[in-house]
Amino acid sequence: MSMSLIVEGFRSPNDPTLKKMMAVLKSLEAIEIDYDDYPPDVVEYFSTHPYGGIGELGGRPDEEIIDGMTTVDLDKILVEWRDDTGEGFELDVASIPAGVRKIRFRASW
């Protein structure tokens, strides 16, 4: 039987950075700025959204955007390792997105 591991990070919906980025996003939408002209830090921040990034968020309700930003898939920064002493997974903590305060490791068989 094989094991599957899912790693998720969690931000608070009251995270100050999330609130600031939401305000910037809504301001840019209100003045109808093209996605290609959004500030790079805003684009990068919302790149972790499960809908696929900034271009997919336009017009969605705030609650839906915030919900997607509070759970962050960390599987892409999880790396398998194996040596003579054992095997397991490594998580590069420097790659954890801003505002993540909790990490859940979920194993299933």
pTM above 0.95, yes or no: no
Instruction: Return per-residue pLDDT of the chain as tens, 109 residues.
Output: 677 888 889 999 999 999 999 999 999 999 999 989 999 999 988 887 888 788 888 888 899 999 988 988 888 888 888 999 998 889 888 988 878 889 998 888 8
Q: Please report the pLDDT score of residue 107 as a whole number.
A: 83
Does residue 68 contact residue 50 with C-beta atoms inside 8 Å?
yes
What end-to-end distance do the CA atoms of the chain give, in Å? Answer: 7
Q: Please report the pLDDT score of residue 1 as a whole number.
A: 66
* Residue-range domain boundaries for the chain: 4-108
> What's the rounded Cα separation, in Å, for the pair 27 and 74?
29
Q: Please report the pLDDT score of residue 10 as a whole number.
A: 92
